[in-house]
Amino acid sequence: MKQTSTVGKSNKTVLVLLILGLSTIIFPLYMTVVIAFKQPSEMTNSISGILSLPKVWSLQNFREAMEVTDFWNSLKNSLLISGLTVGLSILIHSLMGYTLGRNKSNKFYNFVYLFIVSGMFVPFAILMMPLAKQTAEMGLANWFGVILLYVVFYMPMNIMLYSGYLTNIPLALEEAARVDGASTWLTYWKIIFPIMKPMHATVAVITALAVWNDVMTPLIIMAGSSENTLPLAQLNFQSQFGTNYNLAFASYLLSLIPILVFYLICQKQILNGVVNGAVK
Amino acid sequence: MTKHENERKRTFLLITIPILALFICFNTIPLIRGAMYSFTNSRGFGSHDWVGLRNYIDLFSDARVGKSYLFTIKLAIVTTIVVNVLSLILALGLNSKIRAKGFFRGAYFLPNILGALVVGYIFNYFFTYIVPALADMTGMQGLSSSILSSPNKAWIGVMIVCAWQAIAMNTIIYISGLQTVPEDVYEAGGLDGATGWKQFKHLTFPLIIPFFSINMVLCVKNFLMVFDQIIALTKGGPAQSTESISYLIYNNGMSGGQFGFQSANAVVFFIVIVVISVAQMKFSSSKEEQL
């Protein structure tokens, strides 16, 4: 990049700055961990009282937080909703992306494509009030309704990704299968669906992250069902933490742990997926 | 051959119809219903009457709605600028030849995967207790009370939390942009004396404009729709100074008895989003053509 003689020096400066910058990310997390492990009696009003390491690393706050926020049930709901949404999105959106992508020259399919993709501009704010009514009328004011809505909300984005990816897959592959007498339906599942694997990974990552962290949809749809997702539980039980910040932070930390573990394991796939989703 | 063609056509139609129906049922129909409610005095329950354009007329004279638009637009503009400047600097740093590059990239992306609501709660505590305590210790008078309780400063807290998470996303996109710039461009530029800021302005930046466009679109759209951060940090307060448009529609429309009125607000909001998005896409595609 620069003259060779300055490379070593300038990179060291960059490295130091990057390490310093990292404190803006580590500090809030450090604060969360130490407060989550402490007892209210250890929290004096001074900085050192709040930020010092706990005297005993006790799991008591976490046990209590799990009870207060119905943690395991919320975790189960979050996993169920995220998992099913991702699975359905990959199946339904890839199929629709394929159908629309292979028929771009047809006026009807091209219109359907534009019609669905333009759904990206629709803010949730305009849908939420009618949807709250509609899902209640249809008996879908529950986790299943939330999944259906996610499949619809992420359809524009995912269909765009899939039909864009399809342009890289030669038609010859399908034609060869057709000569062998395979139906379009079978050809899709046997040949095209497996080839789109890289795009499935991208769609899975961006859909999973968005669904896992979403608050608004379950807040509006599941309000009456007394069921929670992990983020929704934080919101609904906020008042029960009162001024016991240690309990609150234990609960926050608990709700962050699943996604942190997921990130540690699949960091590379997540980064790739997020970039592909945004850039394509 | 024609038998195959027919089979293919039929299969495509059988795939499209149910999926399109699902989309219409949960996107198009609620959109139309929302637009219809905007012409009524519905309170969300019970009977309602048609009131014509009354809601729209009221909307433009409603101080609270006006305030929420001003706040949301101010937040979107300032946060977009802050986020893009910082992410670009960070991306340049992370793209230079440094040790443990993978570790740094992974670590700097971390804020983006965390849920905005919980991040908001953590920062709420940070602004309410840590910052004032630090200010007392160092004798900075201006920060000795929580910025979240000041109508003039609360928006800065919201801005910081939005930026903290968005920088992670934008940086990773800028890095992938910087990786598309071939090394020999710099070498050729270096011969012409383009280094440092000059190199960035004349060589690097023009080449990553498509990525700049992506980031602008992502930022503006996300910040205009800000909701989770508001609910976790300020609940629209103090004195309704941080009431975002989405939060106002949710709060007053869902439980405040203004179903019809806030539907009109949502329709206007929808139009604003469409106009801004289309303008941004036109602008960025014309920029890219110039290159």
SS3 for B173-202 is HHHHHHCCCCHHHHHHHHHCCCCHHHHHHH
pLDDT score, position B82? 96
Q: Tell me the C-alpha distance between B247 and A201, whole Å.
A: 33
pLDDT score, position A205? 93
Average pLDDT over residues A156-160: 94
More confident residue, B31 or B199: B31
Report the CATH number at residue B277.
1.10.3720.10
pLDDT score, position A124? 92
Continuous segment of H or E residues that includes residue A59: none
* Per-residue confidence band for A1, with pLDDT thresholds at 50, 70 and 90: very low
Q: Which domain holds residue B52?
A: 38-119+156-290
Would you tell me how many other CB atoms lie within 10 Å of the CB of residue B189? Answer: 16
Nearest CA in chain A to B211: A279
Best probe of the B interface among A3, A15, A18, A34, by most B CBs < 10 A, is A18
pLDDT score, position B254? 86
- List, in sequence order, every residue forming a beta bridge with B50; answer none if it has no partner: B40
CB contact under 8 A, A119 and B23: yes
What φ, ψ does residue B50 adopt, rounded to 5°?
-75, 135
DSSP-based three-state secondary structure for A66: helix
pLDDT score, position B289? 61
Identify whether the C-beta of residue A147 lies closer than 8 Å to the C-beta of residue A229: no
Q: Which residues in B lie closer than 8 A to residue A128 (C-beta atoms)?
A: 249-250, 253-254
B37, B107, B273 member nearest A130 (Cβ): B37
pLDDT score, position B217? 86
CB contact under 8 A, B130 and A22: no
Domain edges within chain A: 4-58, 62-279
Distances (CA, A) of A213 to A51, B107, B119: 27, 19, 11
- This prediction has a pTM of 0.90
Identify whether the C-beta of residue B15 lies closer than 8 Å to the C-beta of residue A99: yes
DSSP output for B52-93: TTHHHHHHHH-HHHHHHHHHHHHHHHHHHHHHHHHHHHHHHH
A1, A122, A267 member nearest B27 (Cβ): A122
pLDDT score, position A9? 54
- What amino acid occupies position B238? P
Q: Which residues in B lie closer than 8 A to residue A243 (C-beta atoms)?
A: none
Q: Which of residues 216-275 of A touch B (CB under 8 A)?
A: 216, 220, 230-231, 234-235, 238, 245, 248-249, 252, 255-256, 259-260, 262-263, 267, 270-271, 274-275
Q: Does residue A38 belong to the interface with chain B, where contact is any CB pair within 8 Å?
A: no
More confident residue, B217 or A99: A99
More confident residue, B66 or A177: B66
Residue A7 pLDDT > 50, yes or no?
A: no
Q: Could you tell me the two tokens for B123? A: 């920062």
Express as a percent the part of chain A with pLDDT over 70: 96
More confident residue, A122 or B255: A122
Condensed to tens digits (0 to 9), the pLDDT of residues B93-120 reads 998 888 888 899 999 999 999 999 999 9
Residue B15 lies in a domain: no
More confident residue, B44 or B288: B44
pLDDT score, position A44? 73
Condensed to tens digits (0 to 9), the pLDDT of residues B219-253 reads 998 999 999 999 999 998 798 999 999 999 999 98
pLDDT score, position B1? 54
Average pLDDT over residues A159-174: 90
pLDDT score, position A112? 96
- List, in sequence order, every residue forming a beta bridge with B40; answer none if it has no partner: B50
Residue B2 lies in a domain: no
Query: In which residue are the tokens 């669906």 written?
Result: A193
Q: How far is CA A268 from the centre of its chain?
A: 15
Residue B144 lies in a domain: no
Best probe of the A interface among B121, B124, B262, by most A CBs < 10 A, is B121
Q: Tell me the C-alpha distance between B229 and B148, whole Å.
A: 12
B33, B121, B262 member nearest A234 (Cβ): B121
Would you tell me how many other CB atoms lie within 10 Å of the CB of residue A165? Answer: 22
More confident residue, B199 or A198: A198
Residue B283 pLDDT > 70, yes or no?
A: yes
DSSP 8-state symbol, B40: B
Q: Is the domain covering A62-279 a CATH 3.40.50.2000 domain?
A: no
Number of domains in chain B: 1
Residue B271 pLDDT > 90, yes or no?
A: yes
Residue B126 lies in a domain: no
pLDDT score, position A10? 61
Packed helices B259-290 and B29-37: angle between N→C axes, nearest 10 degrees: 120
Sequence-distant (6+) residues with CB within 8 A of B173 are A275, A278, A279, B87, B211, B214, B215, B218
More confident residue, B290 or B238: B238
* Per-residue confidence band for B218, with pLDDT thresholds at 50, 70 and 90: confident
CB contact under 8 A, B133 and A102: no
Average pLDDT over residues B260-274: 93
Q: Tell me the C-alpha distance between A201 and A215, whole Å.
A: 24
User: What is the nearest CA distance from B205 to chain A, expressed in angstroms?
Assistant: 15
Condensed to tens digits (0 to 9), the pLDDT of residues B30-55 reads 999 999 999 998 887 778 888 888 89
Cis peptide before B238 (omega within 30 of 0): yes
Q: Which residues in B lie closer than 8 A to residue A277 (C-beta atoms)?
A: none
Q: How far is CA A262 from the centre of its chain?
A: 11
Query: In which residue are the tokens 């996604």 written?
Result: A259
Q: Tell me the C-alpha distance between B240 and B67, whole Å.
A: 8
Residue B68 lies in a domain: yes
What is the ipTM, given to two decimal places? 0.90
CA dihedral A44, A47, A51, A57 (to 10 degrees): -20
Q: Does residue A116 belong to the interface with chain B, where contact is any CB pair within 8 Å?
A: yes
